[in-house]
Amino acid sequence: MKVLDAGFYFAAAVAVIALPLWIFNQIKYLRRRAATKLNPDLVVAFPIKSVMFFVVPLLIAIGISQSMSSFALEEALSFVRGLSENHRVYVNRDQVSDADAEKIVSALRHISPQLGHHSHPTKRIRVDINSAQGNITLELGRDSQIPEEYWVFYRKYRLTSNYEIGRITTPIFDQY
């Protein structure tokens, strides 16, 4: 996963670097193509190399981000679903009661990918779960339009710290 994390940022950087080259060659191509109206014998080649130098890394970055989101969601869900009776839950680094811990874990078992609806996450809530199997840290961002919907971010990887792995809808975090 860390290789995918680095691969995403490398592919995105290549696409950003290639963007000015693509724009320059596209403008040059359009000007030459416009000149063919005056001289129909003039042949203008499409700038395929600059397009590919921009589009291929962009598609790779998109594919990696989607894959990482899916892998991170599965990793988080398998951890939460595999929890034993003996675990501790912390919200914003404060331990919660056992009753609230069970409600939180139950809500986190329902993380699922959802389509966006032109909103954004607002206040972030940190959720740490410590158990014999290990530890996990998730961040929940309250949705700007639906107060009981939370965007879930997986802090283990750089990309999934900023790119949601899924969402949950629950009133359990209203008090935080």
Q: What is the pLDDT of residues 51-78, one digit of tens each?
A: 999 999 999 999 999 999 999 999 999 9
Three-state DSSP at 46 gives coil
Q: What is the pLDDT of residue 145?
A: 86
Per-residue confidence at 123, pLDDT binned at 50, 70, 90?
confident
Per-residue confidence at 113, pLDDT binned at 50, 70, 90?
confident
Contact indicator for 99, 89 with CB cutoff of 8 Å: no
Q: What is the pLDDT of residues 151-170, one digit of tens each?
A: 999 988 888 888 889 999 99
User: Does residue 141 carry a pLDDT above 80?
Assistant: yes
β partners of residue 155: none
Averaged pLDDT of the chain? 89
Q: Is the dihedral of CA 3, 8, 12, 18 positive or negative?
A: positive
Q: What is the pLDDT of residue 175?
A: 81
Gap between the Cα atoms of 134 and 161, Å rounded:
19
Domain boundaries, the chain: 2-74, 85-169
User: Does residue 117 carry a pLDDT above 80?
Assistant: no
Contact indicator for 76, 1 with CB cutoff of 8 Å: no
